[in-house]
Structure 1
Amino acid sequence: MEILDILIIGAGPIGLNCALEAEKHNLTYLIIEKGTIVNSLYNYPLYMRFFSTAEKLEIAEIPFISTAPKPGRQEALEYYQGITRQKNLNINLYETVLNVTKTNGVFHVQTSKSAYAAKNVIIATGFYDIPNMMNIPGEQLSKVKHYYTEPYPYAKQKIVVVGSSNSAVDAALETYRKGADVTMIIRHGEISKSVKYWVKPDIENRILEGSINAHFNSELVEITENSVIFKDENGNTQEIENDFVLAMTGYLPDFAFLTKIGIDLQGECLNPFYDPETMETNVPNLYLAGVVCGGKDTHLWFIENSRIHAEIIVRNIVSADT
């Protein structure tokens, strides 16, 4: 079996950047991705726009040309998938990594389709694949959605949106404008400060005028076939009619996988251990790149501030080999 210099798990923007950096240094590599190229971006809401401008989403100094000040999902898909085609990156899609073990200084990677060997492994798996569950009765009902794509299925329906982050606000505004009766259940006392600055006044004004109902300092406690039950800010239990619940409660890295392959998780946020100077974990030659580095704090790392991880990692690998 060929022993690769680097095996990269995850074909998001940062995983692709790691591959491009490996090519720059003539290192053999393979990306393994359980979905399509930039799979998380593919599963974003159809009309989502980034907070970042195009140049801050660029990798490998390849220009990202956008006609809008803030590029959208489709432009990002064209950009990153276009790079993959243009550079003919070595990538296996729709293949899931099951386990990573290390013997005599070599990693053995078992997937759903094959097995591989590598001197170094980079985990660039992001966090979008596992919803942060509410763990309440009724959450398993088919009317509960942890992913939101577009507003059209919710026209003329009674919608509850859980949360107040960007995804929750986008879902609330878009479904309202397509004729849904929207209620937001928000655990905190205000709309999240992290909401895109050009969207925040919109949602606050819709709430102020009563177009969108909002219950602050409130918590959903049960979901039934035809209603939801929540505790309001006074501790009183309320029940309202409901057709769909959009639970925009965030997403988490695959902590079980990280633990399984030997990475130490620390603190309340389950921050995976790594050396910020090299991005190397407690397992020698096993590296982290991108938003997976933040544990539960998924707002810590973005494309624009984790692009540098590829250069840091490959520089460390090259220096160790010389």
Structure 2
Amino acid sequence: MNRSLLLGVLILGLPFVNGDKDKWSTGNDGVLQLNSGNFDRALREHEQLLVHFYVPLSGQGHQVSAAFEGAAVELQGSEVKLAVVDAAKEKDLAKELNVAGSSEIRLYVSGDKHSPVVCPVPQSSTSILTWLRRRAGSAGDLVRDLSQLEASEDVTVVGFFRTSKEELMVFISVYQMDPVTEYTGKTANQILSSPVLNHALLFIRKSSADFNHVYSAFNNAAQSFRVKILFVWVNVDEPRNGRLMEYFRVRDFEAPLIRVVNLTSHVTYQLPSDTLEVETIKTFCASYLEGKAKPKMQSEAIPEGWDTQPVKELVGMNLEEVAFNPNKTVFVMFCM
């Protein structure tokens, strides 16, 4: 009898313990306050979960927080549930999710914890709402009555097309994707089947301190090359991307770097600069399209002590510097 009573007490106590562990609080605007204990539960319960990871008192964080709060008011009662995580307090959760920087907004869909869509740094709540609408709806609407459209919106952007079906399909295919697409198992087929055969790949650690800055520059540059170059970023921190890095002969310590490749010729080009700013990236992509960029020479790592002997040991990475030095006459023997 005593055993039955004890068992009953334990069973009654279990829901209370588990419920307290993953309990969350909700603000007046309906935004969930998440932590490591309730994050997974929120993913299970909400098909679309927009999460703002922030660090209190950070400069960029104030701007993004204000935009996020404004969007929360507009999105009350919608299919998108908003939540916030204090990344400074929830360090283990931030590390698990590879959250970088002082402020970041991510959209989690269908409970997928490890493949969120990163929202570009918003300037206002309208930026967030527009970004969500583009992801949820079609890339464009077919207009049959222009006067009706003009009366329905305060601001209307209309594209008039006189082109072939094939060109229109390419346009639609490109603009269904974000300006920059993360390479994952889910997006690989979409990327490789794109009608755009010129791909710019940014290899970068999502955990790096300069991730937000470099990604923003890459994203801004991408706007100028839609339909001409497909912009893709590869998370060097992700072990599943190892085979792609091996194919392009990219070592993790070399990140961040940008490569451009044509899927027909498979010739690769590398941005010849360590400064990954908007104008630098745009200039490189323009030179590639104009046929002025130099192909990347595949190379082994420069051997240790390569220049300590009378006969120097050259590889692709130091061949041009040594063999084409205008101040020296160099004899080179190529060995297979």
- Higher Rg of the two aligned structures: 2
Higher strand fraction: Structure 1 or Structure 2?
1
The TM-score with structure 2 as length reference comes to 0.24
Higher helix fraction: Structure 1 or Structure 2?
2
Greater relative contact order (Cα < 8 A, sep 6+): 1
The TM-score with structure 1 as length reference comes to 0.24
